[in-house]
Amino acid sequence: MTMAQVLDKGSIVAVVGSGAMGTGIAQVAAAAGYKVVLFDARPEAVKASITGICNMYGKLAEKGKMTDEEVQAASDRLSGASNLSELKDAAIVIEAIVESLDVKRTLFADLEGIVQDGCILATNTSSISVTAIAARLRLPQRLVGMHFFNPVPLMSLVEVISGLATSREVADTVYATAAAWGKNPVHAKSTPGFIVNRVARPFYAEALRLLNEQAADAATLDAVMREAGGFRMGPFELMDLIGHDVNFSVTQSVFHAYFNDPRFTPSVLQQEMVNAGYFGRKSGRGFFDYTPGAAKEEP
């Protein structure tokens, strides 16, 4: 791999979807020196995202991690698009929209009618087959998975996922570019859950089974995994951080993709948490209570 494969600094990086992940990706790409154009189906999300990123740069400057000049330059490199057609000169489009095969396919089909043939199309999907997302494209070889982890500015791993049609050159360019952005990329093939979300499934599933069997409460199981297991976070606090809606849907997706292999059976307990709207930190309640002033307790 040569540095020549890194996307040129003058290139435009387009990010579609300005939610939690798109915002983090845009923050990292602009700080690395790229012009970043954000688009979202909800224009207010783009505005909020750019404001949020500029605030984050400000905080980094307060901590001495960016100079005032760097903050200014990185903020100036960010802009919003009100129409998808404004992404026509992008060298790469990184998609971070809703986790739905149909919606992602529609977006990429629309993008193919807009961008240049040399533009790389990358998806941040956490659980959908990259092969399937690319299947109906005119140039499926240019679509690749670029799977960041949450929160993007802090998590260094990026899984670069090749579907059956992805060209090696495209995967190598995305790998080298992620490395130039200060990330620690890894190449992987498109398999259900890719690497991290696959190996993590039993961590959550066995913890949920233990809780179901009343082996110990969630706080105790978390403490054991942290103190004896050496994990940074226990399974329940981690599921609360990721969000039960997201975590449950990844488990369902891996379960179905492996033809309902019982090893990946989703948890009824977690399904009930999702049904209740107990998504974790983001909804104020999950296995633990996050309402202001609440002591850490189970629901």
Rg (CA), the chain: 20
- Of 18, 49, 129, 147, the active-site residue reads 147
- Of 11, 18, 197, 247, the active-site residue reads 197
What is the per-residue burial (b if ≥16 Cβ within 10 Å, else e) of 102-140?
Answer: eebbebbeebbebbeeebbbbbbbbbbbbbbbbeebeeb
Question: Which residue in 40, 20, 16, 24 sits closest to 243, CA to CA?
Answer: 20
Q: Which SS3 state, helix, strand or coil, does residue 92 take?
A: strand
How close are the terminal C-alpha atoms of the chain, in Å?
Answer: 50
Q: How far is the CB of 20 from ligand NAI (least distance, A)?
A: 4
| Beta strand spans in 126-209 (E) | 143-148, 157-162, 184-189
For ligand NAI, the closer CB: 66 or 166: 166
127 is catalytic: no
For ligand NAI, the closer CB: 66 or 255: 255
Q: Strand pairing of 143-148 and 157-162?
A: antiparallel
Q: How far is the CB of 8 from ligand NAI (least distance, A)?
A: 26
The C-alpha atoms of residue 180 and residue 7 are separated, in whole angstroms, by 9
Q: How far is the CB of 125 from ligand NAI (least distance, A)?
A: 5
Q: What angle do CA 239, 102, 131 make, to 5 degrees?
A: 80
For ligand NAI, the closer CB: 98 or 216: 98
For ligand NAI, the closer CB: 66 or 152: 152
Question: Residue 94: left if φ>0, alpha if ψ -120 to 50, beta else—which one?
Answer: beta
Closest chain position to ligand NAI (CB) = 19
Q: How far is the CB of 122 from ligand NAI (least distance, A)?
A: 11
* Cα diameter, the chain: 57
For ligand NAI, the closer CB: 33 or 151: 151
Q: How far is the CB of 96 from ligand NAI (least distance, A)?
A: 4
Question: Which residue in 246, 293, 295, 235 sits closest to 273, CA to CA?
Answer: 246
- Of 126, 129, 162, 190, the active-site residue reads 126
159 is catalytic: yes
147 is catalytic: yes
For ligand NAI, the closer CB: 178 or 246: 246
Point out which residues bind ligand NAI (CB under 6 A): 16-22, 40-42, 45, 96-99, 103, 107, 124-126, 148-150, 242, 246
- Of 11, 127, 129, 159, the active-site residue reads 159
Decide: 175 and 161 in contact? Cβ < 8 Å: no
**What are the residue numbers of the active site?**
126, 147, 159, 197
